[in-house]
């Protein structure tokens, strides 16, 4: 038998933060990355589990709405047991482990059992909810102190451990945790002990999350207001003059797309930038790729075109993806941007132009109308007769460019640079959200995103599932595909770029707010 001390594990009590998965500490993430076991709570955002290694053991140890002592003892036992097995364990707790998190009790159990532990603090709910609702907990003009108070004292305590007198006098901000079911009695106690009924109060539910809900009132009326709308936990109650600052300092839940769930149907490797633009404006983005980009069946046509680049007068690229793949292929053949030589380059729009510039070439032509027709219109201004054009493209690309350029007398080669194929399946979470009718908007950024979704669901089911969902299409061609399948297009920008699409979605929701 080896020395047991070599097998002693380490338990990290890690604060997960209040909800927004970006609010965990760097140290917390590092612990998760090394974890063999993660024991997590109901309040810890499950997205954080993605930081743990794929083979880590994940144990859910939370109960909705309060935990019993018995469960807590079980958790303590589990921590000791896993520690003794020599495991690296992350005990992931909502907010901060030492603020109403029973982290102290867990550490006591570990200490008594001689199992080593470390504590990584987190953003506690009061701090997170205050920041994301625009309520500074202290402010020179209003208050110099803040108290975090349990709104739900242990049932076994017959006398209050809270000094209501001190809490009620003066102008200190008071934040109650676990105080929604007991809201009325807590507010009454503050009033009875001397706080003014006019004192502003905010209830912040699911603070920092896309589902954050804030209810504003006063000490005198907040309980009635909460009851009237059936306000539910988990929420913190912030009492104090600082609450009034929200009028001016609100920044999170008044963003144009806040609370909107938007489905993105682009290919997974193309969705990131678009998703980030929507998320920045407050939307909850759900990725539902309906396209997968794969290699052509044969590289031969593209390779031989690349090898004889000097024969071409124009290179036309009509997508970021096409541009990237063209230059990747060039590199694989042992060539670089110089191979393009004196051949002039056309980019369909600013994004494609950017991708081409990243490969060291300044595009010679970017039409003002960012689609195939715009490219054709630009070429129509030139003498095209006898020119040779290379147009590397997707297998399902429209024929507009080759057809029209040929009509102008050009000789066009259009080898396939990538194929758009249907993914094997749609993500279950996306289907679930559609079935539950919790999706506000679906975005289509090319006609194949629409056609593929219709093929995967069947067009009847598609129309049915998208009832009540706003359809946002990047431009006329995609909209036509939507309509041909019986979908009504609600949002279409004047220019076919992602930035314009995002702007148009924003305008749409502003107009119906």
Measured between alpha carbons, how far is 353 from 370 in angstroms, rounded to an integer? 11
To ligand SAH, the closest distance from the beta carbon of 512 in angstroms equals 27
CA distances from 244 to 194, 223, 240, 299 (A): 20, 18, 8, 64
Of 356, 202, 64, 358, the residue nearest 366 (C-alpha): 356
Which C-beta is closer to ligand SAH: that of 66 or that of 197? Answer: 66
From 12, 40, 117, 206, residue interacting with ligand SAH (rule: CB under 6 A): 206
Binder of ligand SAH out of 12, 40, 100, 117 (CB under 6 A): 100
CB of 400 to ligand SAH, least distance (A): 51
- In terms of phi and psi (left: phi > 0; alpha: psi -120 to 50; beta: otherwise), the region of 193 is alpha
CB of 462 to ligand SAH, least distance (A): 36
- Distance, in Å, from the CA atom of 228 to the CA atom of 459, rounded to the nearest integer, reads 42
**Residue 148 β-bridge partners:** 175
- CB nearer to ligand SAH: pick between 217 and 234: 234
Q: Is 99 in the site for ligand SAH (CB under 6 A)?
A: yes
What's the closest the beta carbon of residue 186 comes to ligand SAH, in angstroms?
Answer: 12
Tokens for 51, please give them: 């930081």
The Cα–Cα gap between 47 and 159 comes to 40
Q: How far is the CB of 100 from ligand SAH (least distance, A)?
A: 4
Instruction: Please choose, out of 80-88, 202-210, 277-285, 467-475, the segment that lies near ligand SAH by the rule CB under 6 A.
Output: 202-210
Q: Which is nearer to ligand SAH, 113 or 209 (CB)?
A: 209
Q: Does 177 bind ligand SAH (CB under 6 A)?
A: yes
> Do 122 and 95 touch, CB atoms closer than 8 A?
yes
| DSSP codes joined into one string, 451-485 | HHHHHHH-HHHHHHHTTTPEEEESSHHHHHHHHHT
- Marked catalytic residue, from 20, 41, 96, 440: 41
- Give me the catalytic one of 87, 178, 384, 465: 178
Q: How many residues bind ligand SAH (CB under 6 A)?
A: 25
- Percent of the chain that is helix, strand, coil (3-state, to 5): 40, 20, 40
Active site residue 371: no
Give yes or no for a contact between 206 and 19, defined as CB atoms under 8 angstroms apart: yes
Considering only CA atoms, which of 265, 33, 51, 238 is closest in space to residue 129?
Answer: 238
Tell me if 507 sits within 8 A of 481, measured CB to CB.
no
Q: Is the CB of 130 or the CB of 457 nearer to ligand SAH?
A: 130
By the rule CB under 6 A, 11 interacts with ligand SAH? no
Helix axes 320-332, 300-307, angle to 10 degrees: 70
Give catalytic status of residue 384 as yes or no. Answer: no
Binding mask 452-481 for ligand SAH (x = CB under 6 A): ------------------------------
Provide, rounded to whole angstroms, the least separation between the CB of residue 99 and ligand SAH.
4
* 125 contacts ligand SAH (rule: CB under 6 A): yes
Q: 476-484 vs 447-457: helix axis angle to the nearest 10?
A: 20
Q: Is 507 left (phi over 0), alpha (psi -120 to 50) or beta?
A: alpha
- Give yes or no for residue 19 binding ligand SAH (CB under 6 A): yes
Site mask for ligand SAH (CB under 6 A), range 336-375, x = bound: ----------------------------------------
Q: How near is the Cβ of 343 to ligand SAH at its closest, in Å?
A: 57
Annotation says 381 is catalytic: no
Of 8, 218, 24, 267, which is closest to residue 117 (Cα–Cα)? Answer: 8
Contacts (CB under 6 A) with ligand SAH, residues 212-271: 233-236
Q: Please, which of residues 68-97 interact with ligand SAH by CB under 6 A?
A: 93-96
Residue with the closest Cβ to ligand SAH? Answer: 95
Using CB under 6 A as the binding rule, whether residue 178 contacts ligand SAH is answered as yes
Segment (H or E) for 120: strand 117-120
Binding site for ligand SAH (CB under 6 A): 18-19, 43, 93-96, 99-101, 124-125, 129, 177-178, 204-209, 233-236
As annotated, the active-site residues are: 41, 63, 178
């Amino acid at each position: 038998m080896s020395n047991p001390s070599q097998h002693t594990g380490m338990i990290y009590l890690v604060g997960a933060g209040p909800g927004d998965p970006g609010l965990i500490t760097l140290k917390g993430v590092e612990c998760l990355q090394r974890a063999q076991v993660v024991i997590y709570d109901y309040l810890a955002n499950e997205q954080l589990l993605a930081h743990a290694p794929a083979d880590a053991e994940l144990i859910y140890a939370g109960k909705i709405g309060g935990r019993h002592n018995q469960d807590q003892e079980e958790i303590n036992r589990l921590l000791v047991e896993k520690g003794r097995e020599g495991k690296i364990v992350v005990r992931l707790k909502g907010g901060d482990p030492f603020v109403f998190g029973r982290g102290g009790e867990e550490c006591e159990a570990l200490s008594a059992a001689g199992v080593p532990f470390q504590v990584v603090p987190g953003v506690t709910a009061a701090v997170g909810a205050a920041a994301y609702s625009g309520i500074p907990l202290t402010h020179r003009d209003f208050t110099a102190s803040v108290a975090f108070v349990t709104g739900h004292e242990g049932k076994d305590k017959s006398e209050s451990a809270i000094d209501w007198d001190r809490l009620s006098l003066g102008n200190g901000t008071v934040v109650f945790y676990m105080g929604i079911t007991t809201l009325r009695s807590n507010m009454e106690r503050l009033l009875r002990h001397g706080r003014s009924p006019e004192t502003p109060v905010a209830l912040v539910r699911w603070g920092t999350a896309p589902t954050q809900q804030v209810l504003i009132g006063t000490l005198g009326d907040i309980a009635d207001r909460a009851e009237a709308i059936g306000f539910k936990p988990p929420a913190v109650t912030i009492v104090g003059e600082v609450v009034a600052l929200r009028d001016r300092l609100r920044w999170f839940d008044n963003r144009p797309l806040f609370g909107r769930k938007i489905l993105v149907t682009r290919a997974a490797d193309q969705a990131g930038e678009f998703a980030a633009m929507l998320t920045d404006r407050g939307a909850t983005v759900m990725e539902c790729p309906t396209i997968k980009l794969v290699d052509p069946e044969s590289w031969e046509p593209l390779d031989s075109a690349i090898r004889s680049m000097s024969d071409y007068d124009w290179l036309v690229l009509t997508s970021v993806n096409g541009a990237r793949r063209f230059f990747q292929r060039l590199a694989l053949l042992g060539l670089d941007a110089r191979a393009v030589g004196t051949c002039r380059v056309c980019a369909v729009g600013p994004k494609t132009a950017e991708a081409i510039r990243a490969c060291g070439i300044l595009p010679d032509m970017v039409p003002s109308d960012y689609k195939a027709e715009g490219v054709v219109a630009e070429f129509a201004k030139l003498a095209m007769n006898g020119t040779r054009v290379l147009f590397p493209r997707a297998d399902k690309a429209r024929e507009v460019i080759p057809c029209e350029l040929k009509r102008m007398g050009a000789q066009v080669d259009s080898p396939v640079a990538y194929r758009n194929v249907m993914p094997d399946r749609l993500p279950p979470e996306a289907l679930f959200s559609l079935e539950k009718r919790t999706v506000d908007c679906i975005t289509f950024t090319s006609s194949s995103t629409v056609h593929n979704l219709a093929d995967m669901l069947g067009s009847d089911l598609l129309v049915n599932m998208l009832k009540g969902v706003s359809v946002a299409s990047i431009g006329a061609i995609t909209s036509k595909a939507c309509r041909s399948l019986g979908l009504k297009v609600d949002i279409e920008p004047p220019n076919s770029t992602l930035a314009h699409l995002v702007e148009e979605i924003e305008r749409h929701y502003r107009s119906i707010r």
